[in-house]
Amino acid sequence: MKLLEGLAIIAAMSVPFFAIKSHDMSVYLYWTAVTTAYLIYITIKRW
Amino acid sequence: MNVFLYAFAGYVVLGTVIALMAMKGLKTQEEYYIAGRRVSGVVSALTYAATTYSAFMMVGLVGLSYAGGVGALGFELFYLVGTLLLLSYYAPKVWEMAREKGYITPGDMIAERYGREVAVVMSLLASVALIPYISAQLIGVGLILDKTSAMSFSYGIAASAILIALWAFLGGLRGVAWTDAVQGVFMLLMATAAIFWVHNNGFAEKDFFAEVTRLGELLVVPNSFWTPLKFISLTLPWFFFALTNPQVFQRLYIPKDRTSLRRMVVLFGFFGLVYTVIVTLIGLELRTMTEMGTFPRVGDRDAVTPTLLSLMPPVLGAAVSLSIFAAAITTANSIVLTLSSMISRDLFGSERVGTGRLLIVLLTLAVTFFAYSRPNYIVELSVLSSTILLAQLPLILGVFHFKGGAKFTGISTLIAGFATAIILSFAKLSPLGIPASIWTFIVSFTVFFAASRFDR
């Protein structure tokens, strides 16, 4: 389960290398949003 | 006396008073090195953050964002999500084991699983990796203070060394954690002040989101700076930083209860996210201003922050310089304290607090000597520190996931990983085009699994 979570977060963080190519702040905002979402997930979930 | 020196004097007095207040009852190693396992979640989070985030953030990462663009944010946030992932799984297990079995150093866990000799080798490996790293921090801070006319290079190194030794010597981990907590808040506040100043000066009448498009390929990855291989080779050792760096691993022992441990991880995550976003935004805004012609073009990326400081109003420049100094001190004294615990306990088998205090002084002298003499190999070794420490990863993961392996496995894994990192880096070799950090990772795990088949 944790391995799956690890693969999912690495895949999500790798998206800009393949899919975001616009010359604006999209990559910056995307990475910030993914990290924020993961941090909220860590805050809420039981561990 | 310049503005920086007034601020610096206040900083020294405040930190020393805090360290003196933390001195009470430091009679055992458990009290001295891990504050009796009674640290609150908030203080644990702030000391974890201040220990992790060194002067590299406001100097190296600002420059990296300026020179290479948005990839610097990705590199740092990969580290952060990796740390959250690892800590949310391993931190409760490590904390519980440490409490049950009385671990004080990271080596205690390794010694119990693989044998005391392995912890001895690990303490030597950590020293080789981290002493040059601390020296490089001091050199960097000394150069910044010198360039901004706050303090000469020699005085900067000497002042750093005295504070590193003094606060750790007096208050042990409690003193370091309390001073870290105050300094961590100060670092975050000054980074916020810096981004406000940069934004107001560069984009009061312009739309940053419109102007930033001037940066072109710097806003995507991969680009000519951040190739995929470069990104992976830098990110891999940092992804596992929470497990491989003894100064942060030892902090998993200190929270007073499970709630505090959880609070430490979560609050550290928020601190790291905010700090990283601010610091990389400073770099991107300054680069955009360069393209707009409102900030000088800086060729050497490590000179971006000193250039910024020289343009700020003196009071703000002094405060931000002091926050960079604080970032270096908080990282350096935490490492010195952890190394002193590993050398005195794991290497010499000493149970005495006095041995640790003597080692703090000796380690600080060694760091200062390296910083003053500035041998060529010091930069290579400091850059290599996280790669060298990667050699420990199979042993640490093996404690939780693998039953095989003992003394031979432990020692051969550490030596093979260390040798791979050193030989490839110093010979500047990248067999099959793969960089040293990835080879160190592959070789360490291969040797670990191969050796554990013969080692029961």
**HSE, side-chain direction, 13 A CA sphere, residue B122:** 32
Query: Are the beta carbons of B338 and B51 closer than 8 angstroms?
Result: no
Question: Cα(B397)–Cα(B403) distance, rounded to whole angstroms?
Answer: 11
Q: How far is A4 from chain B (nearest CA, A)?
A: 11
Question: Binning pLDDT at 50, 70 and 90, where does residue B254 land?
Answer: very high
What is the reported pLDDT for B12? 96
For the segment B190-217, the average pLDDT, to the nearest whole number, is: 97
**DSSP class of B351:** -
Task: Specify whether B429 is located in the same domain as B370.
Answer: no
Q: How far is A2 from chain B (nearest CA, A)?
A: 8
Give me the helix-helix angle, B314-341 and B116-147, nearest 10°.
Answer: 160
Nearest chain A residue to B221 by CA distance is: A17
**Within-domain flag for B317:** yes
Instruction: Give the residue ranges of DSSP H helices in B22-115.
Output: 29-34, 41-52, 62-68, 71-101, 106-114
**Within-domain flag for B75:** yes
Task: Specify whether B1 is located in the same domain as B58.
Answer: yes
The ipTM estimated for the assembled molecules is 0.98
pLDDT digits (tens, 9 = 90+) for B13-57: 999 999 999 998 898 999 999 999 999 999 999 999 999 999 999
Query: Are the beta carbons of B320 and B84 closer than 8 angstroms?
Result: no
Q: Which of B380, B413, B438 is the last residue of a domain?
A: B380
pLDDT digits (tens, 9 = 90+) for B426-440: 898 999 999 999 999
Does B284 sit within 8 Å of A28, measured CB to CB? yes
**DSSP class of B250:** G
pLDDT digits (tens, 9 = 90+) for B322-337: 999 999 999 999 999 9
For the segment B107-134, the average pLDDT, to the nearest whole number, is: 96
Residues 6+ apart with CB under 8 A from B313: none
Instruction: Give the residue ranges of DSSP H helices in B294-376.
Output: 304-311, 314-341, 353-373
What is the reported pLDDT for A35? 98
Q: How far is B87 from chain A (nearest CA, A)?
A: 10
Report helix, strand and coil shares of chain B as percent, to nearest 5: 85, 0, 15
Does B92 sit within 8 Å of A9, measured CB to CB? no
Torsion angles phi and psi, residue B315, rounded to 5: -65, -45
Q: Which of B289, B431, B303, B349 is nearest to B123 (CA)?
A: B349
Q: What pairs with residue B255 in β-bridges?
A: B39
Give the nearest partner residue to A6 out of B85, B219, B262, using CB atoms. B85
Task: Specify whether B398 is located in the same domain as B364.
Answer: no
- For residue B447, give both structure tokens: 């040797």
More confident residue, B414 or B383: B414
Which one of B75, B211, B221 would you mutate to disrupt binding with A, by most A Cβ within 10 Å of its Cβ? B221
The range of the structural domain enclosing residue B79 comes to: 1-380
Question: Cα(B83)–Cα(B55) distance, rounded to whole angstroms?
Answer: 19
**Residue owning tokens 């800086």:** B298
What is the reported pLDDT for B456? 67
What is the reported pLDDT for B384? 87
Burial annotation B276-292 (CB, 10 A radius, 16+ → b, else e): bbbbbbbbbbbbbbbbe
Give the nearest partner residue to B85 out of A5, A26, A28, using CB atoms. A5
3-state secondary structure of B220: coil
**Within-domain flag for B97:** yes
What is the reported pLDDT for B381? 72
Task: Specify whether B413 is located in the same domain as B295.
Answer: no
Task: Specify whether B106 is located in the same domain as B20.
Answer: yes
Residues in chain A: 47
Q: How far is A17 from chain B (nearest CA, A)?
A: 5
**Within-domain flag for B262:** yes
Question: Binning pLDDT at 50, 70 and 90, where does residue B338 land?
Answer: very high
Query: Are the beta carbons of B249 and B397 closer than 8 angstroms?
Result: no
Question: Chain A contact for B92, CB < 8 A?
Answer: yes
What is the reported pLDDT for B78? 97
**Within-domain flag for B127:** yes
Task: Specify whether B280 is located in the same domain as B368.
Answer: yes
Task: Specify whether B340 is located in the same domain as B415.
Answer: no
Give the nearest partner residue to B273 out of A21, A39, A45, using CB atoms. A39
Q: Which of B359, B380, B401 is the last residue of a domain?
A: B380
Task: Specify whether B185 is located in the same domain as B332.
Answer: yes
**Within-domain flag for B331:** yes
**Within-domain flag for B116:** yes
Burial of B155 (0-12, 13-18, 19+ CB in 10 A): middle
Question: Cα(B80)–Cα(B276) distance, rounded to whole angstroms?
Answer: 9
Task: Specify whether B367 is located in the same domain as B399.
Answer: no
Does A38 sit within 8 Å of B81, measured CB to CB? yes
Q: For residue B348, give the CATH number of its domain.
A: 1.20.1730.10
- Residue B379 pLDDT > 70, yes or no? no
What is the reported pLDDT for B383? 73
What is the pLDDT tens value at each position of chain A, 47 positions in all? 689 999 999 999 999 999 999 999 999 999 999 999 999 999 999 88
Give me the helix-helix angle, B258-292 and B153-203, nearest 10°.
Answer: 70
Task: Specify whether B349 is located in the same domain as B426.
Answer: no
Average pLDDT taken over every residue of chain B = 95
Q: Which of B380, B406, B435 is the last residue of a domain?
A: B380
**Within-domain flag for B51:** yes
- For residue B376, give both structure tokens: 């060529």
Question: Cα(B273)–Cα(B81) distance, rounded to whole angstroms?
Answer: 10
**HSE, side-chain direction, 13 A CA sphere, residue B330:** 32
Q: What pairs with residue B39 in β-bridges?
A: B255
**How many beta-carbon pairs under 8 angstroms link A with B?**
80
- Residue B378 pLDDT > 70, yes or no? no
3-state secondary structure of B255: strand
Task: Specify whether B217 is located in the same domain as B362.
Answer: yes
- For residue B229, give both structure tokens: 């291989």
- Residue B268 pLDDT > 70, yes or no? yes
pLDDT digits (tens, 9 = 90+) for B141-200: 888 888 888 889 999 999 999 999 999 999 999 999 999 999 999 999 999 999 999 999
Dihedral over Cα of B281, B282, B287, B293: its sign: positive
**What's the gap between Cα B28 and its chain centre?**
27
Nearest chain B residue to A36 by CA distance is: B273
Give the nearest partner residue to B222 out of A5, A17, A28, using CB atoms. A17
Q: Which of B233, B166, B193 is nearest to B11 (CA)?
A: B166
**DSSP class of B25:** T
Task: Specify whether B275 is located in the same domain as B369.
Answer: yes
- Residue B1 pLDDT > 60, yes or no? no
CA A20 vs CA A30, B212, B214, B215, B411: distances in Å:
9, 16, 17, 15, 45
Number of domains in chain B: 2
Question: Chain A contact for B80, CB < 8 A?
Answer: yes
Query: Are the beta carbons of B414 and B379 closer than 8 angstroms?
Result: no
CA B66 vs CA B96, B240, B242, B282: distances in Å:
43, 26, 27, 8
